[in-house]
Every structure is written in structure tokens, then in C-alpha cells.
Structure 1
Amino acid sequence: MRKARPALVAVGFALLGILAIWLQNVVVPYSTPFWGLFDNQLDLDVYRSGAQTVLDGGSLYDAKLLGQMDYTYAPISILLFTPFAWVSFESARIIWTAGIFLALYLVVMVSFRSLGRTPTWQLRIIALSLVAVSLLLEPVRTTIWYGQINVFLLLVIVADLTRPEDSRLRGIGVGIAAGIKLTPLIFVLYLALVRQWRTLTGVIASFVATLAIGLVLLPRESWSYWTGKLFDSDRVGAPQTPGNQSIRGLLANLLHSDDPNGFAWLALALAALALGMYAATLASRHGQELLAITLVGLTSCAVSPMSWGHHWVWFVPLMVIGVHWLMTPRIGWVRHCWVAGGLVGLILVAFSWRSYLAYPIWFVNKTVPDAYLTGLFFKTGIVGLQWFTYYPYNVVFLAASIATIAVLRRRERTAPETLDRSDRLP
């Protein structure tokens, strides 16, 4: 009977994955022109256009890509996107989308491995089903729909920081990710707080290397970016946008202003930074490194000046952690209930809730005849719940941070002698 249980669990997850694939079609049918899951990839086209601008000798950060879009990543990122400028857009979107699916699967498997699980065929089925479920989360769905880079950066960071602490290569991946998109630099603070000096050195060294390579290969773009464009956060988007799920976005949307009070934002951002870092360092001290890494990732999204919904792909490892705990019998039924409730809450908050507009709207760079907007933050017509619909992803950040602190601090008080870095359970 014990041998049959993993197979039964795998079958159950396989059915859940099939249900998720069907439900994805219910949210927005796959065949819907423009709004179907695989029928946009605007940001991928921007990446390609940026690379083509450089190949043509143009000014990367002054050009209006596709008519009105700004390029927002660091210069070295062009090396990643150039191969996609050499092929047709249709070929690029197929390769990029397939890469996202593979990266999601690897994120799940690497996360399970870091939690001590052996990669059996049952676990691989569970991982594939979780990929299907994750597509229902707005951050993941829009990452695919826009052709965004976030899942790739997530994989690099998780795979890098779940290595053994004595690994010589640990930290290199985070530094490279930060060289492409600056937000992973928050891990420098985390690594300093947990005194992982070797890894911290690897992050700084590889980040500096990306700057040097960018300066050598793209001197004009590097000068433009590092001396000016870097500090213009509005190039990423207007703060008063429903999709801006940072604390600054919350203030901008609640106050109906594209210039929210800077002191209020700074105070809230510093408070969120302190909360997230304390929860992460506490998790690290208890040997829950994946949870710590995830909390740092969520913190980066909360305190960033601009965090689109698709930046919150950190919900994927958070979901894996919850599933891992659900599949761990020895934590007891009471904690199973709490974990199950947390997973359901995460999925409901981050679900691709659809808002259908049966009239033409201007969307990014063109007029569309109707719209299938996804995400709880578009439900701002519910007046009494605007405080929540403007802020749903930060609620997940707050809940995850506070729950981590409450559970682990209680453990330290009740059984301080059990504190051990090999302990991976709540």
C-alpha cells in the first residue's frame, strides 16, 4: 500500500494538471485573437527590436521601439536577445515560449530538489502538473503572453542560490541576472545579513563583469544607461497603473496620482524591506533556504518603484514549498490545513481573473476591438474592496513574511534546542 501511495498522488496531480489546462481555456480561450495565451509576445518583440537597433547602429535607449516602447534592461542583455533578432518573430516566439515552459519545469524540479526530494518519475509528473497550475496565475500567464524574461531570471537565481554554500560557483548566476535586470541586487543585502561572504563575493564579481563586458562591447549604450536612463523609473511604466503591484503603485492608485508622496513610499518600502529581510534571514537560520530566497524575491517586487504583475513569478517556488509541506505527513493535520488554506489563498489572489471589456480600448501601442484583461487588480470597480484589489500581491508578501516569522519564532521559543539548518519543515 505504501508503494502505491506515490503513484496515486502522481495520478491525482496529473488530473489536476489536466483540469488546469482546461480552465485556462475557460479564462481566455486559447484561440482568442490577440488575447489568447500564445497570441501576443509584445515584450519579446521589443527585445528583438532593441537588439536590431543596436545591430543597425542606432541609439538603444533613445529609440522608440515598435513606435513608442522604451528599452529598460541593462546593455549586456542585448547579447541574450540578439539571436532572436536573427530569426522571424514567429520562430522567436515559439522558441521563447518553449523556453519559458522548460524554465518553469526546471524551477519546480530545482525547488523540490532543494527541499530534499528525489527526482522520481512521480515527482516529475507532479512538477509538470504544477507547471500547468502555475499558468493560471496571472504573473505566469502574462509572462508567457507578453513574452517576458522573468521566469528565466527566476530559474537562474533559484538554481544558483540552492547550491551548497561551499560551491565555488554559487552567486555567479545572481550576479549575471542582476547585470541584466537590476532587481536581483537585493540578494546582496540578504547574503550580507546571513553572512554568506563567499556567495556575496561571487555575486559582486559576476555583476561587475557584466558591467565591464557591456562597457567594452556597447560603450555608448553603457554610458547612457548607467549615467542617466537607470534612474528614470517611469521608463518602465506610469506608477498609476493597475498592473503596478509595488508599494509605490499602491500609493499611486489609491491617491490617483502619478507622483505619490516620496516620503510615504520610502517609509513603507523601508518597512517592507525590513520585514521581508527579517523573515528571510529567520528562514535561512532554520535551514529553509528556498523559502528565504523566495521571500527576498517577493520583497524585491514590493519595494521596487515599478513591479508589473508578471514580476511576481516568485509565487511559483512559494507554491512548490506549500505542495512540499502538504506531501509531508509528519507535520500533522492541523498544519496541513493551514498550508492547504495558504495555497488556496495564493491561487485565488494570483489567479488570472478575467475582466472582459466589450468595447474598443487603446492597449499599449494599438487599438483593440475588445479586451480580456486578467488579474485581480483590474477588479477595481468593487469600491469597498479597492484597498485590496489595488494591493493583492503585496498581501501575499505580507502574509508569507508574517507567517514565516510567527511560525519560526514560536519554534525558537518552544523548542530552541531543535534549531538546525537541516530542518525544512514549518
Structure 2
Amino acid sequence: MPTAPDTGTAAARTAESPARDHGGTDASPDTRPTWSTWPRSLTARLAVLTAVTVGVAYNLVGFPWLRQVGSYYRIDLDVYRIGGTALAHGVPLYGHLPATALGKPLPFTYPPLAAILFSPMSALTLDHASLALTATSLVFLVGSILLTLRSLGLVDRTTMTWTAGALFAGALLLEPVYSTLDYGQVNIVLMALVVADCLLPKTPWPRGLVVGLVAAVKLTPAVFVLFFLLRKDFRATLMTGVGFLAGVAIGFAVSFSDAKTYWTETLVDSGRIGLPAYPANQSITGMLARLGLDPALRSPLWVVGCLLALAITVVAVRRSFAAGRPALALTTTAMFGLLASPVSWSHHWVWVVPMLAVCGHLALARRDAGRSADNELRHRALWATWTLTGIALFVIAPHWRLAPGRTSGLGWPLWDQFLASSYVWWGLATLVLVAVVPLAPAHAADPLPAESADEDPELVRVS
């Protein structure tokens, strides 16, 4: 007997489709990309299960022959925990903090709200805090992938589950993701919160509030105001400001002196984060700094570069919304934020996970019926090539291949300079592609629920 379709999810999606600008999709009932059937292979499912199991175990506790089983030291988490402990005990947050487990004191560079959120970690051992944050990041990574897939039109639970599993396992091989996990960073958690606020068809909170609070934890997510502005969602734009101010106010309420120090002194200290020329700084500023340019020249060039990138981003985001593709608009905005930020460490580039998923979808989804077969093939090939290029780039991470023995990032040959800023070039090129290449409208590209198992006798269920 045929399995009943997921009518609840489909109905919710249908109800949201008229308001595509608010995170929903608008799929045509006559379109079904062939890739929606791939999870029917038993071999594929076993491969996904194996990859997910190994990836989760590797990052949580290690895995035989790949990583020594046991606890793994995560230096940034150590700093977070020290900052949270300092705040809880009234120690100045932006003064001289206790040394890390490596014996070296490192500064706390986040706003006070971040320290408030990290303070519960003071009740945990470093090993237990490491396990908790890693597990949370892995769960939130899955969540961000699921929300992206839903925005792309996947509503069938079987197809979505196995596709998300495959993307999750693949994402663990990307340098921004595994560096975030190895350092004990919070990039994945913050990304998932922004994705939820921007792509959920309906939110139980006022849309934009979470983005504002996230910006009060780490300033760079404030760039997503651009997403709301270009979508003409002015209420969400306002709520982003409300959320940010609320986060700042909480910091002042908990520790007025620390909040005052951060917003009047620490924030404007350009040297608090690190050397801009360091190879891991994958931003326009980092690229210019590695060229050895004088700061007096570098600053105006940075402004010009950011303005050009912003202009391209505005065009790209508007075209994405016009095509009914909010996930593409969101990830394009993220690319601009990474490029424009004075410091975007390579582990900040976790946004390539949803970006690559969107690019892959553009390569696999069907095009307009009126487009010639040759044009369709060229567009598929373009996005497929770009997706594969991105995967290879973020797996290889050229800046780390070049860096041993040359960690200053200065005095490198021109070709090495180009490779050392590979994330920057990929991000810029992605903005240009989205801005100029014709985008298939969502109603002609989004997939429908895959057929049920009982309708296809070749499907082997895995329980």
C-alpha cells in the first residue's frame, strides 16, 4: 500500500509559497530533478551512514587510525571558558586573563554578551566543555543544512534526510568546518541561528531578533541587515537593531565596566585580533596586507574594494530574490560579509557549506522550459564546475599549504600571494557569477517530494 505523502509539510510549504520573500519556496508541480531519487540506493545509504558515523566519532572522541581516541585540546574554547569564568568571578574581561592550558595568556576579543553565554562553561572541565561544544556544533551544522535544503525545495523527509547526511559528512572535510571544530570556535552555531532567522518560513520570534542578538555576540553577523533590507523586510531590519541593542544592554547590566571598556576601547583596537597579513586571514584586508602595502594605502584600497564588492552583492542578492531563491541571497550576503570584514579567519568561512549546496542545486535543478538544450547544458556545467572547484579549494586550503615556515604572510612571490588569498578570489568570483549568470526561477527549479518507497519496487528500505 503506498505510503502517505508528507501532507503536513507540503501544506505548510504551499501556504508559505505566496510569501516567497519570507523564506518560503515556490516550486512548480511539473518539475522533478532526477537527483531527488538518489537515496534509493542501498549502497549510497550505507556509504552515508558510514561517513556520518566516522565523522561524528572523529570529531567527538577520535577514531582509530585517523585520530587518537581521547580528549582533544581546543584552544579557542579554552579562551572562551577563561573569559566566562573571569566574568563570573568579577575579573576584568579585557585585562590580563589567566593563561590557557598551553601556558600562554590570550585576550578575550568578543563583546560582553559572549562572555555571559560562555560563563556556564566555568562549571565544566575543559574536556567536558570541549565535548559539549563540539556536539552542539555538529547538531547545528545538520540544522543549517536541513534549513538550506528546505529553502531549496526539498520537503520529502527521506530525500532530505539522506541528502543532508551526505552533505554533513562532506562538510566535515572542508577546512573552515574542521578548523572551527578543532579550535573550539562557535562559527557553526552562529551560522545556524542566522540561517534559522532568515530562511524559516515562520519564526516563533520576531524575524530579525536572532540576527541582532548574534551580532551582539560577534559583530560580523550585522551584515545580514543587508539581506532584510534588500528583501524589503523593514520590520525584520528594525528587529535586528532591537536584538543588537538588547544584547548590548544585557552586557552593560551584567558588567558595566567590561561593557564600557569593550565598546569604547577594545572595539577600536585594531591589533586585538591578530596580524592582518597572517595567511589565515581570508578577507580583502588580509589580501592587501600580504602584499606588504603601507596601512595608509591599504585602508583606501580596502574601502574601494568593499564598495565594489557591495555593489556586486546588491545586484546578486536582488537577482536571487527575483528568482525566488532566498538561500542564494543569504549565502551571497555572507560571502560579502566575509570579504569586507577586516579579519575573516579561514574558519569563519563555514558559510561555504550552504553556499556550495546552493551552487550544486543550481547545477542539478531543471531550467526554464523556453531555454535551449545547449544553454541549459552550459549553465549546468558552469555551476557544476564552480561547485567542484569550491569543494576542492576548501578541502585543500592552499593558504595552509603555503604557510609552513612563512607564517607572516609577507614577502611571498606573486603566485603564492594569489594562492594564499584563494578563499577571497572564490568569494569574489561567486558574487560575480550570481550577479551576471541567468538564474533559473525557483518555480522552474525546485524539487518536489520524491516518490514513496512502496511506489518504487526497486527501493530498498534501511531501518
TM over 0.5: yes
Structure 1 residue 333 displacement after superposition: 4.1
Q: Is the 8 A contact 1:37 1:141 kept in 2?
A: no
Q: Is the 8 A contact 1:75 1:225 kept in 2?
A: yes
Q: Is the 8 A contact 1:49 1:85 kept in 2?
A: yes
Q: Quote the residue 1:45 is aligned against.
A: 78
**How far apart are the structure 1 equivalents of 2:73 and 2:294?**
29
User: What is the CA deviation profile of residues 347-381 of structure 1, one whole-angstrom value per residue up to 9, with x for unaligned ones?
Assistant: 11111458xxxxxxxxxxxxxxxxxxx84563898
Structure 1 residue 258 displacement after superposition: 7.5
Q: 31-40 or 59-68: which moved more?
A: 31-40
Is 1:87 aligned to 2:133, yes or no?
no
**3-state SS, counterpart of residue 189 of structure 2:** helix
**3-state SS, counterpart of residue 71 of structure 1:** coil
**How far apart are the structure 1 equivalents of 2:265 and 2:329?**
33
Q: Quote the residue 1:388 is aligned against.
A: 418
User: What is the CA deviation profile of residues 125-166 of structure 1, one whole-angstrom value per residue up to 9, with x for unaligned ones?
Assistant: 221221111111111010000010100110000111013389
For 1:185, give the aligned amino acid.
A
Q: Quote the residue 2:39 is aligned against.
A: 7
Is 1:274 aligned to 2:311, yes or no?
yes
Q: Is the 8 A contact 2:54 2:63 kept in 1?
A: no
Alignment of 1:241-320 (within 5 A): 241-255=278-292, 261-320=298-357
**3-state SS, counterpart of residue 58 of structure 1:** coil
**How far apart are the structure 2 equivalents of 1:275 and 1:238?**
28
Q: Is the 8 A contact 2:147 2:200 kept in 1?
A: no
Is 1:104 aligned to 2:141, yes or no?
yes
**How far apart are the structure 2 equivalents of 1:7 and 1:178?**
38
Larger Rg: 2
**How far apart are the structure 2 equivalents of 1:180 and 1:3?**
39
Cα distance, 1:422–1:216 mapped onto 2, change above 3 Å: farther
Q: 281-290 or 203-212: which moved more?
A: 281-290
User: What is the CA deviation profile of residues 316-345 of structure 1, one whole-angstrom value per residue up to 9, with x for unaligned ones?
Assistant: 101221333344355754433222211110
Alignment of 1:83-162 (within 5 A): 83-162=120-199
User: What is the CA deviation profile of residues 27-46 of structure 1, one whole-angstrom value per residue up to 9, with x for unaligned ones?
Assistant: xx967999999733110110
Structure 2 counterpart of 1:337, from 381, 391, 394: 381
Q: Quote the residue 2:454 is aligned against.
A: none
Cα distance, 1:30–1:392 mapped onto 2, change above 3 Å: farther
Is 1:60 aligned to 2:93, yes or no?
yes
**How far apart are the structure 2 equivalents of 1:17 and 1:349?**
25
Q: Is the 8 A contact 1:37 1:144 kept in 2?
A: no
Q: Quote the residue 1:363 is aligned against.
A: none
**How far apart are the structure 1 equivalents of 2:92 and 2:393?**
41
Alignment of 1:195-234 (within 5 A): 195-234=232-271
Is 1:406 aligned to 2:436, yes or no?
yes
TM, length-normalised to structure 1: 0.82
User: What is the CA deviation profile of residues 92-142 of structure 1, one whole-angstrom value per residue up to 9, with x for unaligned ones?
Assistant: 111111111111111110101111211422321221221111111111010
Is 1:73 aligned to 2:117, yes or no?
no
Q: For the aligned residues, what is the CA RMSD?
A: 3.4
User: What is the CA deviation profile of residues 199-234 of structure 1, one whole-angstrom value per residue up to 9, with x for unaligned ones?
Assistant: 101111111111111111111111011111111232
Q: Is the 8 A contact 1:175 1:203 kept in 2?
A: yes
**In percent, how many aligned pairs have the same letter?**
28
For 1:378, give the aligned amino acid.
A
Q: Is the 8 A contact 2:55 2:172 kept in 1?
A: no
Cα distance, 1:345–1:338 mapped onto 2, change above 3 Å: same
**How far apart are the structure 1 equivalents of 2:295 and 2:66?**
32
**How far apart are the structure 2 equivalents of 1:249 and 1:94?**
32
Q: Quote the residue 1:240 is aligned against.
A: 277
Q: Is the 8 A contact 2:48 2:162 kept in 1?
A: no
**How far apart are the structure 2 equivalents of 1:395 and 1:3?**
30
Cα distance, 1:46–1:32 mapped onto 2, change above 3 Å: farther
Cα distance, 1:272–1:36 mapped onto 2, change above 3 Å: farther
* Greater relative contact order structure (CA < 8 Å, 6+ sep): 2
**How far apart are the structure 2 equivalents of 1:39 and 1:257?**
40
Q: Quote the residue 2:403 is aligned against.
A: 378
Q: Is the 8 A contact 2:86 2:93 kept in 1?
A: yes
Unaligned runs of 5+ in 2: 1-33, 369-375, 407-411, 447-463
**How far apart are the structure 2 equivalents of 1:35 and 1:399?**
39
Structure 1 residue 281 displacement after superposition: 2.4
Q: 162-171 or 182-191: which moved more?
A: 162-171
Cα distance, 1:192–1:126 mapped onto 2, change above 3 Å: closer
User: What is the CA deviation profile of residues 44-66 of structure 1, one whole-angstrom value per residue up to 9, with x for unaligned ones?
Assistant: 11000001111221110112452
Q: Quote the residue 1:358 is aligned against.
A: none
Is 1:397 aligned to 2:412, yes or no?
no
For 1:390, give the aligned amino acid.
A
Cα distance, 1:205–1:297 mapped onto 2, change above 3 Å: same
Q: Is the 8 A contact 1:70 1:235 kept in 2?
A: yes
Q: How many residues align?
A: 394
